[in-house]
Structure 1
Amino acid sequence: MFNKLLQKVTSPQPPSLKEGSLSMKDLDPRVTVHYGIPSTASVLAFDPIQRLLAVGTLDGRIKVIGGDNIEGLFVSPKQLPFKNLEFLRNQGFLVSVSNENEIQVWDLEHRRINSTLRWESNITAFSVIHSTSYMYLGDEYGMVSVLKYDAEEGKFTQLPYYVPTDVIAEGTGISSSNQSSVVGVLPQPCSQGKRLLIAYDNGLIVLWDVSDDKVVLVRGNKDLQLKGKSIVHSSQSVRPELSEDLQDSEQEEKEISSLCWASTDGKPKITSTDVVKLQLSSADRRLPVIVLHWSADRSHNGGQLFVYGGDGIGSEEVLTMLCLDWSSGIESLKCVGRVDLTLTGSFADMVLLPSLGGMESCGTLLFVLSNPGQLDVYDDACLSSLMSRKEKGTSASSLQYPMVIPTIEPYMTVGKLGLVYRDGKFSRDLSKEVSAAKVQASHTPSATLTGSMKWPLTGGVPCQFNDTEGALVERLYVAGYQDGSVRIWDATYPALSLIYVLGSELAGFKTASASAPVSALEFCSSTLSLAIGNACGMVRVESFDVCLLLW
């Protein structure tokens, strides 16, 4: 998939110096290759079939990540935030919706925008029907429309079908003139997109049958028979309890801010109006619930509900996992456990991934995106361990997304790009040394997270250029770190590969100054020597067969 991304980078020809030959484009530097998670990352999407993760930013960039160092960077013409991001699963396309309601389809193989559609109204809800090219769009006027992307023609088609507001109004008993904006559109699981859950910001929820054009189910705050309120206390020392004591304020209509299916098959009891409220904090003023995600357990008699929000205003920022059990029915729902994951930065987004080689019932992986630009992954074993501790604000040793070129851990102090003369003997000798010295293990962790869980991102086509016979090293990237170490990569191709890690220790020399932060680097391509200076005034020269120490 990413073969276009990883093609060999040829040395650019110098521009002509004739008068009038340069344009503004020639003087406009652009990032074409990027490693790691952008600092302005804000939204996630995942393709469970091709095992690809997409990260959207606040400045119009999209990072697509696979396995074996595969990272693709897509840059939108407008530097605007994305409010929606979803894959057309297993089709090689990614759909984004910008804050200006521009819908874009990105071709992952050719790294370009295939089609763009500017929506006239404000898009307030967006969803792709799984394994299809059909999309539901909800807007500020209560309308739900249907789009289709034609991959062969490379364009959008707005279907004549839409969910009529007058029929919704008739089915719900609410005047169409009072119709609120759509805040969520979720196809019912296992319905092939034929049934759609529509949520409005006034608290109304409608299950709509697309085939028969009719309302199947209507729910709202006033017609829900509240069986009890499960108060999920902040302290795990207090067991969650059900209470029938409901204040009048809790019966008032409230705006819907997020929703998710808490079911693998999406089969609600049509005649049931039972509901249980889960309250994460007893504080009078609580944060809105921004994110809800559901993961079913193996028995399908409950599962884990992931919640961001709902805690008291001013409380520590956490992502909450609630373990729920309704084996005796929804009216007897129990909260049997709670974990508050302490975030290292401000929360941005999360996705749940089916584990490798398994369905949802075999366990899931949790990816959490936080700012600035950090991606953490938790597996079932890690979350179960946290649950057993029964502590609030638990900090877990999650696996962070590995940086091909680490900049924070360890902390990079200086970097240098060095060119190697391709026609020289040193280049041929270096290429032989590099071929033998390259680290054989992949930088993307194929090792375990906890137990036997493998790194879940495996999509994309790895670069093969630097494995071809006779390939020469043309560029090196050298980085110095605060701990005195130096790392060297083969930078001939976009997929950098690690060659050497030079520690601060020097054979035959014992000095505390050797571990001082690296402050300067210089590479000589004609002799293949590297000069390293540190903060204590020490300079050492490294080559393949000699090491000099200068004071």
Structure 2
Amino acid sequence: MKKFTFKGVLDGFRQTVQPQAIRQEHEIQETLKAENFAVRKTFRHGFPYSPTAFAFDPVQKLLAIGDKAGNLRILGRPGVDAYVKHEGESACAVILAEFIVNDGALVTVTADDTLHLWSIRQKVPVVVQSLKFQRERVTCIHLPVQSKWLYVGTEKGNIHVVNIDTFALSGYVINWNKAIEVVRATHPGAVIALCDNPLDANKLLMGYESGLLVLWDLKGKFAEIRWQAAEPVKSIAWHYEGKYFVSSHTDGTICSWPTRPTPKPQSLVCPHAKTNKDGALEKCKAIYKVDLKATVTGETYTIFSGGMPTDKGSKSNCITVMVGKTTTVLEMEHAVVDFIILCEKPWTCETQEPYAIAVLLQYDLVLIDLLTSGFPCFESPYPMDLHESPVTCCTYLTDCPSDLVPALYSIGRTTTSKKNAFSEREWPISGGEWSPASCSYSEIVITGHQDGSLKFWDSGAGSLQVLYKFKTAKFFEKPKNITHSSDNNIEFPFAIQIIYLCSESRRLCVAGSMGQVMLFKFRKVETHSSIFVLEIPIFSDYFDDIYGTSPEFDFTPHQVQKSESSDSDKADAAINVKSGPLRIPPGFHPQLFCFTFGPNKKLVQVTSLAVNSSYGLMAYGTEYGLVVIDIIQKNYLLSVACPDLYGGQDPYSRTPKSPKRLESKDEQSRSPSSDQATDAGYFNCLYVILRKLFEKLDGSFSRSRSSSMSSIDMSSTESVTCLAFMESFAKLKDVFSLVPTLWIGTSFGSVLTLLFNIPERDVRSLQPISITLNGKPILRLKGSITSMSFLDSFGAIIPSSYEPWRNDSKDTKDNDCSLQLSPTRTPTTANTTSNTSGGNVSSSASSSGISGSVSTGLDTIADRQFVVVASDKQTKVFDIVNQCCVNRIHLSEMDFAVKAETISMKGGTCLVTYLSNGHLLVHSLPSLKLLLDADFLPLMDLSFQTKCKQGIVDPMLSIWGQQIIVHEDTTQISKIFCFSNKGHGLYMASPTEIQKFTISAEFCQFITEMLGSLFTVREMPEQPKESFFKGLFGGGTKSIDREELFGEQSGKANRSVAKHIPGPTLDQLGQRASTAASEISRAHQLAMERGEKLNLLEERAERMANQAQDFSGTAHQLMLRYKDKKWYQL
């Protein structure tokens, strides 16, 4: 009898079951480790925001600019650009700056009355030491050339002396009560200006706010001469001969004073004052600064800022150059902050040969050529025009096609005409050294601006150079009835909000502030063509209960009769596209413009964009719903509101639809393509208005920012915040059918999909595309969806398919393949909360015809596919085939994600997230293991981008810095904060500056090689020698021993006046010095011991040598003794 076993029964069952394909799953090996990551800010580009201080080194030819936030930029030749910031209590406005000429050092004064000594002998400047004044406010400083004693003027009218080497205060003090006359009963005011006599270093000229001018004898410690001006003093300047000086005043006058006592100035002029009818001079504005420079030919340049008439029609932002009897007024675009005359020689006691004027404006840096007639400006090599129009959004692309940068550069060079007004001489700021050390990949930054312009920048090699720029506003008619309003969208209708560039197909999609979506295609030749316009309405019965109906709100099908814009296309839009053929220069040419209308014929805001050139599709999400466009046939396939995306499987309870809607209107609202994709009754489901969704078990749809904002507003509506095209699996556990899919993320945390059936290429322009709405959310997260990306079975990012760019400039069939289809209308409503799904398009070519299961990446996708979905509160990794969540992470209740993006780096993939608490997180994929958590940037540093000024929701929480920035603000901030592949990123650090950073530890080590060197060894020009006759008759230069005058013999300074603060560098140097000293002492001791041992060894060797010699002699004697004897005689 056969033995019965359970094993046999199981084997029998196995034999009866039909074998199925077993999918081999393997664990993904993640290559990225924590040691691969480190955070560092790399390069800063643009113009310093709100500059406050200006300095120039005439020998090193370096320029320093300080701003109100405590930032310091040092500029040299192109590529030499250093950025540092004052830290701690001194992180405030830089009010004064002065170079120690040709010494590799810079002195700055911050608003907290602290002097800082910076060393610029290394690539990154560092603070060596500081001196904080505790009782007096610093108002001016002066450092004579090749002197180590710094004069410091204060608000109380006193002048202190500081040793630059030790940063110690001298005992020598010039008190205000010693400077004034004994009979004077009033305080002279703050010290406005200080400068020593060019020919007599013993004489120091002091200018006080009240108009008092004092020539102080340093050795004698008394006021040699006093002058009293009628108006308050703004600045003073010596003539190089030292016989007279000039002063500028608040009434627009310049006074000349001789070096002898006189009650009135030698001359008084008001350069820009005109005589009125009464014979009196017109009132003028203050002359803020005046300076005198002379040439060898005997010409004296008198240059000043301000002094224009006060009448309304006069120019205010001007620099005036007076040479002899010639006066030239140079009008500036912005307010003048300061100016410096650049001279060939640094010594003030000789003709200095001025060759240029560096003018620091409120929003620009201008250099004026003094050696060319007409005083033209130099063309700046720095990207100082980044903020020519305020930046509203930006995109950062790394590792883009190698031919894209040259293509953009060649187009930009041909379309941009060089202005003849620029000087032909070289840029005079030529300090430092820099050798380009570019990476093996190209980098492009695209900035969108408030005036509708886009600029493409080459950001490789640590620089930022403009490649190409164009304005979208030129395709529109000038807006009518646009007035200043609190609504930025109305005031700036062309402002760029979202940028999406497919770098492989060179298709550019842009969304504007009035809801306009513009699709461009790159061409190398000029064309004359019209712009195709689509007007797409969105409406739904769901809106009737929220917005009501308007008598004039009557959406009727709009038949597009032509492929170009016409007067009938303009409707009642606030902006209208220009009609007729337009001349379009080489570059990005408009292919299709779309306008979407919502309830009450309101232009809707675009919240997300996605383009797939391989499918020939463009999709954009709005604050109300979703629109899908066929960019080949130039018609829209779908215009649907967010509630309609769910069909009958809507997980939210919404208010029932209004019974007003007629069936005929429902039929009119559908597009031909959407009818093929959905059932007739698909949109006949009931909709109910959004109810409270903060549930204890699943708060997936809360847009919370803190505990007090944990529930959704009843009036809030759902919007499409993220879109991504991808070929993914259509059914559960179906690993053999990959179909073109559009993944949709909403503000309520839902993730849905649309499936497309795309005809073959040969009939693509004729046959329609069918769409399938899945309805049921594939995934639900807490918060608003911000990004989606896809991974293959190896954990690598799946590249989106694309159509490679080809030069089709000779092909004019592009405008002939469009069909004349009627616009459809469907609905949506929601608050705008958006991010683009990404601007980085990877490689992978598409097949000639994409239909059904045709794919472009089957070899890498294999049989597994993951989608990484990030919201502002959660991140989930979802297995598409098995329809299950693999990993997830939750943010704390008080924090939210401002920006999240999946990037590739060092052969691995990771998720980078910038949080509201200022931290930067890096998680490996797909395990979501935390690799980096670094305190990076406080969110409040980006508050200049906020639109909602009433951002404080909970006053108590605002005390701890919470809820100051609300959801609408973070949406705008996310548009100027970018992550990119290779571990790079950037953000707008101020309205005028871009700050780049990296999270790659390898690049952090490489970055030093890319920085330029600020300090170079240069020979100091020889001081002019005194002529025989000047020395004989006492007219030559008189020197002074400042060390004897201000040194130890002057006594000890009052400790309560200023406090010395050693910099971190000094402490490090001290530790290094002590360590080095101990090492040297130890080495010396070891050398001594080794020497003693060598001496002993030498003595022993000598003794052994003597003994060997004695033994040799004895042996020789013994040999001679027995040499002649026979053996038997021994």
Instruction: Count matched residues.
Output: 440
* 1:520 to 1:202, Cα distance in 2 relative to 1, 3 A: closer
Alignment correspondent of 1:163: 174
Query: Cα distance, 1:451 vs. partner?
Result: 5.9
Q: Distance in 2 between matches of 1:339 and 1:68?
A: 30
Deviations 1:51-84 (A, max 9, x none): 1111121221122111123222222224422221
Q: Distance in 1 between matches of 2:305 and 2:317?
A: 9
Contact 2:341 / 2:354 at 8 angstroms: preserved in 1? Answer: no
Q: Distance in 2 between matches of 1:67 and 1:540?
A: 37
Query: Cα distance, 1:159 vs. partner?
Result: 1.4
Q: Percent same amino acid among aligned pairs?
A: 17
Contact 1:82 / 1:98 at 8 angstroms: preserved in 2? Answer: yes
Q: Is 1:455 aligned to 2:436, yes or no?
A: no
Higher percent of residues as strand: 1
SS of the residue corresponding to residue 342 of structure 2 reads strand
TM-score by length of 1: 0.66
Alignment correspondent of 1:352: 341
Q: Is 1:205 aligned to 2:224, yes or no?
A: no
Query: Cα distance, 1:362 vs. partner?
Result: 3.8
Contact 1:356 / 1:454 at 8 angstroms: preserved in 2? Answer: no
Q: Distance in 1 between matches of 2:110 and 2:428?
A: 28
Alignment correspondent of 2:237: 260
Query: Cα distance, 1:215 vs. partner?
Result: 3.2
Counterpart among 276, 280, 292 of residue 267 in structure 2: 276
* 1:476 to 1:116, Cα distance in 2 relative to 1, 3 A: same
Q: Distance in 2 between matches of 1:41 and 1:131?
A: 27
Q: Is 1:487 aligned to 2:494, yes or no?
A: no
Contact 2:345 / 2:352 at 8 angstroms: preserved in 1? Answer: no
SS of the residue corresponding to residue 43 of structure 2 reads coil
Query: Cα distance, 1:49 vs. partner?
Result: 0.8
Alignment correspondent of 1:293: 291
Measured on the aligned residues, the alpha-carbon RMSD in Å equals 4.4
* 1:254 to 1:478, Cα distance in 2 relative to 1, 3 A: closer
Alignment correspondent of 1:418: 397
Contact 2:379 / 2:423 at 8 angstroms: preserved in 1? Answer: no
Q: Distance in 2 between matches of 1:405 and 1:317?
A: 22
Deviations 1:73-119 (A, max 9, x none): 22222442222111111122221112221112222333222222211
SS of the residue corresponding to residue 34 of structure 1 reads strand
Alignment correspondent of 2:50: 40
SS of the residue corresponding to residue 455 of structure 1 reads coil
Counterpart among 104, 107, 110 of residue 92 in structure 1: 104
Alignment correspondent of 2:128: 114
Query: Cα distance, 1:403 vs. partner?
Result: 4.1
Q: Distance in 1 between matches of 2:60 and 2:70?
A: 24
Alignment correspondent of 2:306: 308
* 1:175 to 1:202, Cα distance in 2 relative to 1, 3 A: same
Contact 1:448 / 1:455 at 8 angstroms: preserved in 2? Answer: no
Query: Cα distance, 1:317 vs. partner?
Result: 0.5
* 1:547 to 1:186, Cα distance in 2 relative to 1, 3 A: same
Contact 2:445 / 2:459 at 8 angstroms: preserved in 1? Answer: yes
Counterpart among 407, 418, 434 of residue 386 in structure 2: 407
- Listed as ranges, the matches of 1:73-472 within 5 Å are 73-77=83-87, 78-108=90-120, 109=122, 110-119=124-133, 120-150=135-165, 155-165=166-176, 167-169=178-180, 172-174=181-183, 178=187, 180-191=189-200, 193-221=201-229, 253-261=230-238, 263-268=239-244, 270-271=259-260, 273=262, 275-279=266-270, 280-281=272-273, 283=281, 285-300=283-298, 302-309=300-307, 311-312=309-310, 314=312, 315-321=314-320, 323=322, 325=324, 336-354=325-343, 362-371=353-362, 373-381=363-371, 384-385=373-374, 398-399=377-378, 401-404=380-383, 407=386, 415-420=394-399, 452-466=424-438, 471-472=439-440
Q: Distance in 2 between matches of 1:318 and 1:503?
A: 29
* 1:115 to 1:32, Cα distance in 2 relative to 1, 3 A: farther
Counterpart among 465, 473, 487 of residue 441 in structure 2: 473
Unaligned runs of 5+ in 2: 1-31, 245-257, 274-279, 411-418, 477-493, 511-515, 524-802, 809-813, 819-1130
Letter of the 1:540 counterpart: K
SS of the residue corresponding to residue 179 of structure 2 reads helix
Contact 2:501 / 2:509 at 8 angstroms: preserved in 1? Answer: no
Letter of the 1:254 counterpart: E
Query: Cα distance, 1:48 vs. partner?
Result: 0.9
Contact 1:201 / 1:255 at 8 angstroms: preserved in 2? Answer: yes
Counterpart among 516, 521, 528 of residue 540 in structure 1: 521
Q: Distance in 2 between matches of 1:406 and 1:186?
A: 35
TM-score by length of 2: 0.35
Query: Cα distance, 1:460 vs. partner?
Result: 1.8
Query: Cα distance, 1:136 vs. partner?
Result: 0.4
Letter of the 2:288 counterpart: I
Query: Cα distance, 1:210 vs. partner?
Result: 2.0
Q: Distance in 2 between matches of 1:190 and 1:537?
A: 67
Alignment correspondent of 1:59: 69
Contact 1:183 / 1:200 at 8 angstroms: preserved in 2? Answer: yes
* 1:255 to 1:310, Cα distance in 2 relative to 1, 3 A: farther
Q: Distance in 1 between matches of 2:81 and 2:159?
A: 35
Deviations 1:187-228 (A, max 9, x none): 22244x43210122332222123234343332224xxxxxxx
Letter of the 1:196 counterpart: L
Contact 1:70 / 1:460 at 8 angstroms: preserved in 2? Answer: yes
Contact 1:147 / 1:158 at 8 angstroms: preserved in 2? Answer: yes
Q: Distance in 2 between matches of 1:419 and 1:260?
A: 51
Query: Cα distance, 1:158 vs. partner?
Result: 0.9
Q: Distance in 2 between matches of 1:68 and 1:342?
A: 26
Q: Distance in 2 between matches of 1:301 and 1:540?
A: 57
Unaligned runs of 5+ in 1: 1-12, 17-24, 222-252, 326-335, 387-396, 421-426, 440-446, 505-511
Contact 2:188 / 2:209 at 8 angstroms: preserved in 1? Answer: no
Contact 2:235 / 2:289 at 8 angstroms: preserved in 1? Answer: yes
Query: Cα distance, 1:309 vs. partner?
Result: 3.1
